[in-house]
Amino acid sequence: MQVKIEESWEKVLRQEFTVPYFSQIVAHLKIERDLNKVIFPSGQLIFNAFNKTPFDKVKVVIIGQDPYHQPKQAMGLCFSVPDDVPAPRSLQNIFKELKSDIGMPTPNNGDLTHWATQGVLLLNTVLTVRQNEPGSHSRIGWLNFTDAVIKKISEKKSGVIFLLWGKYAQEKKSLIDVSKHFILEAAHPSPLSANNGFFGCKHFSKTNTILVQQGKNAIDWSTT
């Protein structure tokens, strides 16, 4: 199956596009569209995280769950929203921790593309969702695909920093070779859990310390 995705990712994931579960994903999305279901993000943004962060450039991975399910929010990058959309509460809490951790002023927009282009893979484990139905595509096959993505990063790269926020993301630890990668864990930045260990985790400064120790460029965590 021919999938429009950034070239270095296409090479790494080529085999995944040929297995039955991926055809089932495509068929499921087509059926829902034929039934006039509204699906987020738009088709050209489903693989936005991969297109903005080529495999060869991945230095950091932040794992989210599924895309925002309200209109105009989802853009294929976990936690990120277009610059003309107010930051959702989890993203607001991420910005609060950035200010506390590294003193960064609160950004005036929630578009995290600037992170992605520096090597931060903003990976939702489910890449699509029906409007107003969170989790609605969690069982159509995307988890097989994104588990394969995490495994490929673990197998083929070294020194990648995985930021696992919340129990859902932390369930992916078994896919990561901790002998050659770094894992930072904290509570999810959701308002329901941020006070239980996300605030004060200092993951942004810790990430940059690890990157610099490896001789890599630190991440500019601003949104511009």
Q: C-alpha distances in angstroms, 112 versus 73, 145, 213?
A: 12, 23, 24
> CA-to-CA distance for 126 and 64, rounded, in angstroms?
8
Residue of 140, 132, 192, 144 lying closest to 167 (CA atoms): 192
Catalytic residue among 66, 84, 177, 220: 66
Give yes or no: 66 in active site.
yes
Candidates 109, 144, 111, 115; CA nearest to 127 is 144
Sequence-separated (6 or more) residues with CB below 8 Å from residue 76: 41, 45, 46, 47, 48, 49, 67, 124, 127
3-state secondary structure of 24: helix
Residues classed as catalytic: 66
